[in-house]
Chains A and B, each alone.
Chain A
Amino acid sequence: MSDPIRSNRLPETGPFFQRDLGWHPKAYTPWYKTSIVRSPQRALLSLEGTISENTGPRFGHNIIGELDNDLIHNYARPGESAIGPRIIVYGRVLDENGRPVPGALVEYWQANAGGRYRHKKEGYQAALDPNFGGCGRSITDEEGRYWFRTIQPGPYPWPNGPNDWRPAHIHFSIFGSGFSQRLITQMYFEGDPLIPLCPIARTLNDPEAVKMLTAKLDMQATTPMDSRAYKFDIVLRGRRSTFFENRREGN
């Protein structure tokens, strides 16, 4: 049963700030063709969060294997490594109040250096790299930090318009502390000229939103003669708190 000492210092359990659905992409974005028949046409039912959405699963560090955050080696044959530009991707998971989110499971996946995904439904002619799988995961530390090593993915053609190419990107999936914080997004790379041309990046209406998904080159975090580094911070929904609940000063 609930611990009386703990109940005076509540962990964060409040409902979440409402999502800004004008900032997120709309469901119906017909220039991204698949969205046409996969977008609800009726209004969403707005609800205050209940305990069913304010709680969520927690993953222990014990699920993380030694190479889970090293995509250069986690699928490679012994003594070998993936081909491509070696990079480090790092950042913090924060909430909208600017506080770090420790213990968050961050999963990421991507194509190889030639833009080829290791997936049987994918038919692009660029070759698979026998030493590259394309998946990894981390759990954030006490300061909300995560990091991984990988090869920079290549751009990738896709059957949308007759000549559409995805910018180089890495997919991210993040768990916060509540199920309604669940988020999947994509990370783009600073300076990629394909970003403004991409129908999926263009589902974002606000140039600031695209900027938020564009990782910045960080030469100070780069390892000389080894890997360049890109910084990518992720922000999850913040929680409301009521006066006296746990922060008298407010959020």
Chain B
Amino acid sequence: MVQSLNRLKESPSQTAGPYVHIGLTPNFCGIEGVYPEDLGGRMVNEKTKGERIIVTGRVIDGTGTPLKDALIEIWQADADGLYNSPAELRGSADPNFTGWGRCPAGQDDGIFKFETIKPGRVPFSDGRMQAPHITFWIVARGINLGLHTRMYFGDEEAANAEDPILNRIEHRVRVPTLIAQREGNVYTFDIHLQGEKETVFFDI
């Protein structure tokens, strides 16, 4: 008889559906008075260290249409490259920076926008440094399992050139799908779910 490993299966994913806002950003969709404010709307305060930036963009489907019902979450290091998480053992992250943000795509234009700071570099598992990046997680109606990707910074060419993850992308023409271009203090990162410009998504 074969022995059992006694592991549990992960709960299978299901789509977040079109009304994800009711649960995750109720104030945004007009359900007021249950929570004082929606979670993840403020990542910084006046004491946060680092360069203030805005990260904005759209999630676009295979026909070129922006999703107006997507929900985007981001997770990133502070200006010194430390995560505000109990699983961060290298030091204490900036207590004035949450590192985590949540933003629904605009219901008219599909635009998401995060007011954050530019993250510091963090090491890869073998000690090499990764280029500065922001981790993205995208859910929406029609997406059965949340999609993971990363945004890198267009003005970090040298760091991007040595990034261990960007270097793992075999089809070099796809690398630019992960790189946001800078204009002033705004980085624009459009995420293409499907087609010619399809963003690289990770199984991580």
Contact = CB atoms under 8 A, between A and B. Distances in A.
Interface string B78-114: 0000011111111110000011100000010000000
A82 interface: no
Interface residues of B, number: 85
Interface in A50-93: 50-59, 63, 65, 67-68, 74-75
A118 B11 CA distance: 27
Given A38-B194, A203-B14, 19 more contacts: A13-B89, A15-B125, A25-B145, A37-B193, A39-B144, A39-B193, A42-B174, A49-B204, A50-B122, A51-B88, A54-B87, A57-B99, A98-B6, A118-B29, A133-B26, A135-B26, A135-B31, A179-B137, A213-B14
Interface in A165-215: 171, 173, 177-180, 182-186, 200-201, 203-204, 208-209, 212-213
B168 A45 contact: yes
Interface of B: 6-24, 26, 29-31, 33-36, 39, 61-63, 65, 67, 69, 73, 75-77, 83-92, 98-100, 107, 122-125, 130, 133, 135, 137, 139-148, 150, 165, 168-169, 174, 193-195, 198-204
8 contacts: A32-B142, A38-B140, A50-B130, A68-B35, A97-B7, A186-B17, A203-B14, A212-B12
Contacts of B30: 118, 120
Interface residues of A, number: 95
B135 to A, nearest CB: 5
A136 B65 CA distance: 32
A34 B124 CA distance: 36
A120 B29 contact: yes
A95 B8 CA distance: 7
Contacts, number: 279
The binding surface of chain B is classed by DSSP as loop
